[in-house]
Structure 1
Amino acid sequence: MTTNDELVDRFFAALVAGDTDELRNIYTPETTIWHNTGGVAEDFGQQSVEDNIAMNGLIAELLDDHRFDHIRRGHVEGGVYQMTVLRGVLDGQPVEHYMAIWIRIEEGHITAIEEYFDSVTAAPVVTAVMSAMPAA
């Protein structure tokens, strides 16, 4: 296991645990997070660290028994590419949200994330999160 693997594993464990302090330790203050939204919710196409932490906190609250199942991880210069499925239960219904993620890693921190997801499988999660987010 490489240092990048350990960091990415810590990242996903923090997401599941809703550990905002650990996420702040993993990110840098300048980390950028981008999602293709597939027309589902343009409001979080580009996110700051704090917006991303808030969104992931809502996912942790809204999805019962949620977890990330990693299909494949590839090591590339500057980071990792990973195919992942977010699984859980939302309003009594099972959810499987497929995504491909590019994670840039510099000096032991995640400095950028680009998440490409299937807008069909993401729609229930995105809709629930957008509904739960406080109005700006």
Structure 2
Amino acid sequence: MSVGVPALADRFFAAVTARDIPALDSLYGPDAVVWHNYDDVEQDRDDSLRLLGQLARAAGPMRYTEVRRIVLEDGFVQQHVVELGGRCEGLRMPAMLRVWCDDRHIHRIEEYVDPGPLTARLAATARS
């Protein structure tokens, strides 16, 4: 097991929490893809970075709680709860990611989450 994978995972989640898109860009490999269970679509790295930037602007601050991570030979699995603030205050979204990476770059993410509550909250607050 590489000691670099846990450090990469920590940097990735810190960058998402800080809404640091340039840091995320540096962590993604050039051919990185992100797949979501809710739409069964693979996003390329640019689309993923764009979506993360939009989410950060729309949803407000977020933090990861109840983190459980298992480091694997080729990456890691992490279960967590995303707690949102701002206009999504109080929203908690359980999620799981399977990430394929080396010590420096993420190559593939498979994300398992139900975005329904977030989508509903953003729609409701947009109407208010």
Q: Secondary structure of the residue that 2:61 maps to in structure 1?
A: strand
Which residue does the alignment assign to 2:31? 30
2:59 to 42, 48, 63: 63
Letter in 1 for 2:55: I
Deviations 1:99-132 (A, max 9, x none): 1111111252110001112x2xx21324549xx9
The CA RMSD over aligned residues, in Å, is 2.4
The alpha-carbon distance between structure 1 residues 92 and 77, as it changes in their structure 2 partners (threshold 3 A), is: closer
Aligned length: 122
Superposed displacement of residue 90, structure 1: 5.6
Q: Secondary structure of the residue that 2:26 maps to in structure 1?
A: helix
TM-score (norm 1): 0.78
The alpha-carbon distance between structure 1 residues 94 and 85, as it changes in their structure 2 partners (threshold 3 A), is: same
Which residue does the alignment assign to 2:3? 2
Tell me if structure 2 keeps the 8 A contact 1:59–1:125. Answer: no
Letter in 2 for 1:12: F
Superposed displacement of residue 81, structure 1: 0.6
Which residue does the alignment assign to 2:17? 16
Letter in 2 for 1:98: P
Deviations 1:2-47 (A, max 9, x none): 211111111111111221111111001200100100xxxx3x7321
